[in-house]
Amino acid sequence: MDGVGPFEHKTFVNKILHGKPGVRKIYAPRAARLALIYALMPEMLARQRLVQSMRSKASSDVRITCHGLFTAKKHEEAYETTLLQMQSKRKAVEHIKLACIDGNKWLVHPGIILTPAYTFATEVEGDVDDAPQGKRAKQTKPVIVEKMECIPQCEQRDRLFAVASFQAEVVRAVMLKRTADIEAAHARFDKVIAGKPPKQVFVLWRSTTNEGLVVEHADEVAFSTLYSKRL
């Protein structure tokens, strides 16, 4: 076709890595710009510590390594629940079993407000109905059981299971006195490498001290706070 042919184009990545936040500009087809931004952003985030929790570790004794931008994988499989007795022991409330840490120790969630902030670790034993006959015989009053509504497949549910899987591996690593397994920690996340930027992303990163203490982190932030230019 007349007028169509190859052309030469240069993109200077140093302007992305070292430029001031919010003033970066890449002149290239949109798909290429996005792929380049996703590829370069981990180094940029680590270098400039654009995530709030990274800035809290501003000491030169702490080295930051960013694994990239991620979104939570869809959680479409069935989930299990357990009944946890409240302090009064006259009431049992159903909780979602999000991720197993080790043995009977699980990360669970009450399922009311779907935010990872309400996730906590606990020992999951037999439910109220599974208690030994001797224990049930001592109960003079029936235990009030508070059941939770079924949680449909949604982004909030995806984030709950993704973050819980990450947290379970981090806690497990501390318990076993080893470095966290990145593959296990990131198992419920998809790395953003192409396509339209999501509104919210997870920045998965690592901090390493001069003494060799390695800690894995996961922060959910708005993509616009990391790259504010129009794409």
The pLDDT tens digits for 84-97 are: 987 666 788 899 99
Q: Which of 55, 37, 38 is nearest to 46 (CA)?
A: 55
Question: Hey, where are the domains in the chain?
Answer: 14-73+188-225, 81-153
- Asked if residue 71 lies in contact with residue 198, where contact means CB atoms within 8 angstroms, the answer is yes
Beta strands in 4-85 (DSSP E): 62-72, 81-85
In this predicted model, which residue has the larger pLDDT, 68 or 58? Answer: 68
Q: Please state which of the ranges 25-34, 127-136, 197-206 shows the lowest mean pLDDT.
A: 127-136
Q: What is the DSSP string of 173-226?
A: HHHHTS---HHHHTTTEEE--SSSPPSEEEEEEEEEETT--EEEEEEEEEGGGT
In this predicted model, which residue has the larger pLDDT, 8 or 63? Answer: 63
Token readout for 116 is: 């990872």
* pLDDT of amino acid 2: 45
- Distance between CA atoms of 142 and 139, rounded to whole angstroms? 7
Q: What percent of the chain has pLDDT over 70?
A: 77
User: Residue type at 7?
Assistant: F
DSSP 128: G
The mean pLDDT value for 66-85 works out to 94
Residue whose entry in the numeric block shows the structure tokens 């015989």: 137
Q: How confident is the model at residue 57 (pLDDT cuts 50, 70, 90)?
A: confident
In this predicted model, which residue has the larger pLDDT, 208 or 88? Answer: 208
The mean pLDDT value for 92-114 works out to 93
Residue 106 sits at φ, ψ, to 5 deg, of: -130, 160
Residue 125 sits at φ, ψ, to 5 deg, of: -110, -155
Q: How confident is the model at residue 214 (pLDDT cuts 50, 70, 90)?
A: very high
For the entire predicted model, the pTM comes to 0.78
- Distance between CA atoms of 186 and 67, rounded to whole angstroms? 10
Token readout for 100 is: 């197993």
* pLDDT of amino acid 31: 82
pLDDT digits (tens, 9 = 90+) for 123-156: 987 544 444 433 443 445 567 778 888 999 999 9
- Distance between CA atoms of 27 and 140, rounded to whole angstroms? 75
* pLDDT of amino acid 230: 52
Output the average pLDDT for the chain.
83
* pLDDT of amino acid 184: 96
Q: Which of 213, 117, 124, 223 is nearest to 164 (CA)?
A: 117
- Distance between CA atoms of 231 and 216, rounded to whole angstroms? 30
The mean pLDDT value for 81-86 works out to 88
- Three-state DSSP class for 130? helix
Residue 170 sits at φ, ψ, to 5 deg, of: -65, -45
pLDDT digits (tens, 9 = 90+) for 155-169: 999 999 999 999 999
**Is pLDDT above 80 for 203?**
yes
Classify the phi-psi angles of 187: left when phi > 0, otherwise alpha if psi is within -120 to 50, otherwise beta: alpha
β-bridge partners, 69: 203
Token readout for 2 is: 């007349």
